[in-house]
Chain A
């Protein structure tokens, strides 16, 4: 029963954390793309071209490996649970 409870509440908590981190990561990525555009076009440039540039950059990011790294949010705590359990029980 305790294990089920841990999995449910831990799962909820980590899912919230997962979404927070992925939103943050996307936001940072978008800001970087916007800054890059501003650097390349000091006088502003075409608004539609800017939009397309940012969206293309975001699509590249989405299909890259980096966002999948955020899944470590689930893996690392699970490893911690196993390690702490083994240290507590078998040493």
Chain B
């Protein structure tokens, strides 16, 4: 039972961790920009988490305008690996992440909005673009992925190599290996000797206790009715 709970906790933590990575790491969509717009937005407690903050130079109020980029993008298979023929509409928000989470250090939302407007095209005369973004679109929470960059490309069949994600996962592996090495060293050099010492002193303490218990127990036993 305890083992099942422990496994469940581990799975939940892993899923949460992977979800955070999936939310935060950059992804690339191929498509065309159909329009850009600005809507006034009132956040609530549920979806506030999925928005960044006011522009870097502006002050934070409860209500503000939100830049949106509307696009029609190519559908992809699982996690963006492999493109499909069909398309879907997608709406991106375009917010400064500033110096704060997630660490894109993006301050150029206005410029990106202008660039997105410049790359706007129609079905007949399509200007294909690669839109780099992070985040999720969810209709029920009304949240949008945040566009990070727009890059014009010749056609829809571009191969985007996710350099950042490759470096990130290599770094994550190295960091994990290093943390394990540190932990092993700490155990071997610090914890194990302490445990040995503690076991030694625990042995002497517990033998004392046993002796005391013996005496108290014998005294307690004198109160029990003799059978």
Contact = CB atoms under 8 A, between A and B. Distances in A.
Interface in B92-126: 98-100, 103-108
A2 B56 contact: yes
**Chain A interface mostly:** helix
Q: Which of B103, B105, B108, B148 has the most CB of A within 10 A?
A: B105
B106 A24 contact: no
A24 B99 contact: no
B148 to A, nearest CB: 6
Contacts of B106: 88-89
A5 B206 CA distance: 51
A81 B103 contact: yes
Contacts of B181: 24
Interface string B200-221: 0000000000000000000000
Given A5-B100, A24-B182, A88 B189 contact: no
Nearest to A34: B189
B26 to A, nearest CB: 10
B99 A2 contact: yes
A6 B56 CA distance: 14
Contacts of B7: none
A88 B100 contact: no
12 contacts: A6-B100, A20-B182, A24-B185, A27-B185, A28-B185, A84-B103, A84-B105, A85-B107, A88-B108, A88-B149, A89-B107, A91-B149
